[in-house]
Amino acid sequence: MIENVDLSVVDWSRAQFALTAIYHWLFVPLTLGLSFILAIMETIYVRTGNEEWKRITRFWMTLFGINFAIGVATGIILEFEFGTNWSNYSWFVGDIFGAPLAVEGILAFFLESTFVAVMFFGWNKVSKKFHLVSTWLVAIGANLSALWILVANGWMQNPVGMTFNPEAARNEMVSFWAVLFNQVAVDKFLHTISSGFLLASMFVLSISCWFLLKKREALLAKRSILVAGIFGLLSSLMVAYTGDESARTIAKVQPVKFGAMEALYEGKDNAGLIAIGLLKDSDNSIGKTKEKEFIFKIEIPGLLSVLTGGNRDAYVPGIRDHVLGNQEKEILSVMEKREKGIFARNVLTDYQRADLFKDKEQVANIKEVFRSKEFNDEYFRYFGYATINSPEEVIPNVPIAFYSFHLMVILGFSFIMLFALSIHLLFKGTIEKNRWFLWIAFFALPLPYVASELGWILVEMGRQPWIIQDLMTVTKGVSNITSGSVITTFILFAVLFTVLLVSEISIMVKQIKIGPKH
């Protein structure tokens, strides 16, 4: 391994990736959801022949185009930053991680980019049906591209379907299906796309309510609310369901992250689910008394045990169990895992020495060891712990994980009510009269963005210190470049993205104010 890693390179590389990801994620969910809303609206137009639906579709399509371009711009950076800033990681996992990215490019990006041109420019050039098919293909392509990058991300959270090759010093894929149907990837894909659908529905609902507040474009607004309300309600229910599934999976494969999400320091039977809580000076040190964990909390007794273990008596391990170990519950401590990780690393060193001295018999023997199930289950799965120096290092930032998770959940449930109410008022025919609702829906526009970003903050901050769960820390994955280079590019990206974001919002607001063309 490259020793003496400059920690400021690690921090700035993390900051740069986080910056790019956060900006990218401001635009992608809208693309994921609005593409389907456009397809639904255009389908209604083609089936009914009603020109007003065409006008509605084209209005939202203009906004889609503005958002789409900037999403593409930020997306390319993310892909290449794996190489520029995380080159050691890229080699360690490239055999697995690269494949979904290549499939994404070949199967999804071309579909999206080819038919988006037909969607924008083809209204007067191709038949109605061809245009409609193109719009649907854009939606499918956009969401397919989300699938593959989320498969890659899911693998980082829960590495499966691979074996370590000591000769190349990297992980290699042995089962594509295990990588594709990784439970984390499946949960993540469904939760992410449904949250994109929700966000786009809120976007359409909020802007439509603004039109109603301004007493403009009433027909467009109501029809848009009809589509967005129903699509949004279904999506928000799906978000709740898939979010619950995701949390259960996290409890199994990333138990420390789960403990941080719930701020559960001490494991317990009959563990309650914290609905709302305010943490009291919680930090990463272990040994603090549990009474100091919360200033205030509203807890649903026993629910956490029921959700994770199936019954109220189920024991839910806390952060302390995973850090210091719990013999009774057969949970290894960090230092025990570290011993096993060091053992695995020593076997690798033995391999490298044997290879250097051309000891073919020893090389063949150690290769067999790396292929054996026992070695992988007992030792190699803790490979990354060899570089952990103190037990507390494996604890992510608890307040960030706790608050981002709980705020996201609270917002998620409020969206269900908002969409349900929008449909109720629309069908009752009183939506225009209930101006309080129009104002609430209008001001709710940024909330799905907040919830969506909080979700990613939880996922990625909660994963720390791992870049690949239990196998590699972020410190070991970084490129061997100077912090000055990364600081410079961080500033350049920050300025450029911010300028482009401001420009995008300004253009978007103007287009909304102009409204649909007559």
Partner 1 sequence: MTILITHLFLQQYWWIIVSLLASLLVFLMFVQGGQSFIFSLPENDNQKTLIVNAMGRKWEFTFTTLVTFGGAFFASFPLFYATSFGGAYWVWIAILFSFIIQAVAYEFRSKPDNILGKKTFDIFLFINGSLGPLLIGTAVATFFTGAMFTLNNENQVHWETKWYGLEALLDIRNIALGLAVLFLARVNGLLYFVNTIDDESLRKRSVKRVTWNAIPFLVSFLFFIVAILLSDGLVVDPATGIVSIEKYRYFHTFLRMPFVLIIFLIGVITVLYGIGVTIIKGGIKGIWCSGSGTVITVFALFMIAGISGNPFYPSLFDLQSSLTITNASSSQFTLKTMMFVSFMIPFILGYIWYAWKAINNTKMTEAEMNSEDHKY
**Phi and psi angles of residue 354, each rounded to the nearest 5 degrees, phi first:** -65, -40
Residue 62 sits in the site that holds partner 1 (CB under 8 A): yes
Smallest CA-to-CA distance from 139 within 102, 75, 193, 101 is with: 193
DSSP letters along 300-349, please? ETTHHHHHHHSSTT-EE--HHHHHH-BTTTTB--HHHHHHHHHHHHHHHH
Q: Does 495 bind partner 1 (CB under 8 A)?
A: no
Residue 146 binds partner 1 (CB under 8 A): no
**Residue 126 binds to partner 1 (criterion: CB under 8 A):** yes
Q: Which of 35, 88, 192, 195 binds partner 1 (CB under 8 A)?
A: 88
Q: Specify the stretch interacting with partner 1 by CB under 8 A; choose among 90-98, 244-252, 253-261, 275-283.
A: 90-98
**Dihedrals phi, psi of 119, to nearest 5 degrees:** -60, -45
CB of 116 to partner 1, least distance (A): 7
Is position 63 an interface residue for partner 1 (rule: CB under 8 A)? no
Residues 155-184 that bind partner 1 (CB under 8 A): 165, 168-170, 172-174, 176
Q: Which of residues 4-23 bind partner 1 (CB under 8 A)?
A: none
Q: Contact between 106 and partner 1 (CB under 8 A)?
A: yes
- Count, residues near partner 1 per rule CB under 8 A: 88
- Spell out the residues 6+ positions from residue 150 whose beta carbon is closer than 8 angstroms to its own: 185, 188, 189, 192
Instruction: Specify the residue for token string 């603090």.
Output: 288
Q: Which of residues 355-384 bind partner 1 (CB under 8 A)?
A: 356
Among residues 121, 413, 427, 443, which is the contact residue for partner 1, using CB under 8 A? 121
Q: Looking at 201-209, 299-307, 416-424, 476-484, which segment touches partner 1 (CB under 8 A)?
A: 476-484
- For residue 94, the minimal CB distance to partner 1 (Å) is 2
143 binds partner 1 (CB under 8 A): no
Binding residue (CB under 8 A) for partner 1 from 40, 52, 75, 416: 75
CB 351 within 8 A of CB 363: yes
Question: Rule CB under 8 A: is residue 59 a binding residue for partner 1?
Answer: no
Residue 118 beta carbon to partner 1: minimum distance, rounded to whole angstroms: 5
Comparing CB distances to partner 1, the nearer of 106 and 410 is: 106
Taking CB under 8 A as the criterion, the residue among 18, 400, 461, 500 binding partner 1 is 500
CB of 381 to partner 1, least distance (A): 19
Binding mask 309-338 for partner 1 (x = CB under 8 A): ------------------------------
Nearest to 441, CA basis, from 212, 259, 127: 212
Q: Does 99 bind partner 1 (CB under 8 A)?
A: yes
The C-alpha atoms of residue 260 and residue 123 are separated, in whole angstroms, by 51
Give the pair of three-digit tokens for residue 246: 């995701």
CB–CB of 170/91 below 8 Å?
yes
Q: Does 90 help bind partner 1 (rule: CB under 8 A)?
A: yes
Question: What's the min distance (Å) between Cβ of 155 and partner 1?
Answer: 13
* Sequence-ordered list of residues with C-beta below 8 angstroms from that of 386, at least 6 positions apart, any chain: 338, 341, 342, 344, 345
Q: Which helix (H) or strand (E) holds 163?
A: strand 162-165
The answer to whether the beta carbons of residues 158 and 169 sit under 8 Å apart is no
**Which member of 19, 43, 58, 444 binds partner 1 (CB under 8 A)?**
58
Distances (CA, A) of 96 to 112, 156, 175: 24, 10, 10
Q: Is 82 in the site for partner 1 (CB under 8 A)?
A: yes
Biggest alpha carbon distance in the chain? 84
Q: Which listed residue (94, 154, 325, 396) binds partner 1 by CB under 8 A? A: 94
Q: Does position 117 bind partner 1 by CB under 8 A?
A: yes
Binding range to partner 1, per CB under 8 A, among 288-296, 305-313, 384-392, 499-507: 499-507
Q: Which DSSP category does 264 fall into?
A: -
Q: How many CB atoms lie within 10 A of CB 157?
A: 24
- Spatial neighbors of 34 by CB under 8 A, at least 6 apart, are 60, 63, 64, 67, 200, 203, 204
Give whichever of 112 and 460 is closer to partner 1, judged by the CB atom. Answer: 112
